[in-house]
């Protein structure tokens, strides 16, 4: 039962996006003086952030777990834009709501999600839009090989910047908790799980 509830706890964590250091090339139209990235893509090798959980997750799991997400992303490369971007950074914040499944023993386990993360960009060139909105419809939690908990978002879509040519359907977000499964299990049975550290990678578009 403890593994079931711990699995449900980590289901409220997706990830969002932010970026730093990107290079680009392509020929597309766009607003005068601005680089069009609406149908471009961005791939970032390092995502870091946190997920604050409410209610605190302990032996009794609520029907809905809310996860307040804050993320940053670095090691990014851009493709498919209308001009050159020598550097780009951003800040991503949002909330996801997960409904932990019942009757599932241990990991892996998948739960539906509702919510979004909004990423605001600051780049070396003026972009066609100031932000990306990332949505996901599911998250899968599984035991990672290094002893942490792996998290994978499903049903992704992106609007605004870096939506690619398919509205972000080809996007991917893969994360791990910075806490070990063992440490989360201990916290679950004592103080409860208040928050999770996140690390991983992401591609939009």
Q: Count of CB atoms within 10 A of residue 155's CB? A: 12
Q: What tens digit of pLDDT does each residue of 164-204 get? A: 999 999 999 999 999 999 999 898 888 889 999 999 999 99
Residue 4 pLDDT level (bands cut at 50, 70, 90):
very low
Query: pTM of the entire structure?
Result: 0.79
* Residue 52 pLDDT greater than 50, yes or no: yes
Average pLDDT, the chain: 81
Residue 1 pLDDT level (bands cut at 50, 70, 90):
very low
Q: What is the per-residue DSSP string for 138-186?
A: EEEEEE-TTSEEEEEEES-EEEETT-TTTTTTT-EEEEEEEEEHHHHHH
Percent of the chain with pLDDT over 70: 80
Quote the domain boundaries for residue 41: 2-204
Q: What tens digit of pLDDT does each residue of 84-102 get? A: 888 888 889 999 998 766 5
C-alpha dihedral, 137 to 40 to 118 to 196, nearest 10°: 70
Q: Are 156 and 125 contacting, i.e. CB atoms less than 8 angstroms apart?
A: no
Q: What is the tally of structural domains in the chain? A: 1
Mean pLDDT calculated for residue range 44-69? 86
Residue 59 pLDDT level (bands cut at 50, 70, 90):
confident
Q: Is the dihedral of CA 16, 19, 22, 24 positive or negative?
A: positive
For 7-16, 29-38, 54-63, which range has the lowest pLDDT when averaged over its residues? 7-16
């Amino acid at each position: 039962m403890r593994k079931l509830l711990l699995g449900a706890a980590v289901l409220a964590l997706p990830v969002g996006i932010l970026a730093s250091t990107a290079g680009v090339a392509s020929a597309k139209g766009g607003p005068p003086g601005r680089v069009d990235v609406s149908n471009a893509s961005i791939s970032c090798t390092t995502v870091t952030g946190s997920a604050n959980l409410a209610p605190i997750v302990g032996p009794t799991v609520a029907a809905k777990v809310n996860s307040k997400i804050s993320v940053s992303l670095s090691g990014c490369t851009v493709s498919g834009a209308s001009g050159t971007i020598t550097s780009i950074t951003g800040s991503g914040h949002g909330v996801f709501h997960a409904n932990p499944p019942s009757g599932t023993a241990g990991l892996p386990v998948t739960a539906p999600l509702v919510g979004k993360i909004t990423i605001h960009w600051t780049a070396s060139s003026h972009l066609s839009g100031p932000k990306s909105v990332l949505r996901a419809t599911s998250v899968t939690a599984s035991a990672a090989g290094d002893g942490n908990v792996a998290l994978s978002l499903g049903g992704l879509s992106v609007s605004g910047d870096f939506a690619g040519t398919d509205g972000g359907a080809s996007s991917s977000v893969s994360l791990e908790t910075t806490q070990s499964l063992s440490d989360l299990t201990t916290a679950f049975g004592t103080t409860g799980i208040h928050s999770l550290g996140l690390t991983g990678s992401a591609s939009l578009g």
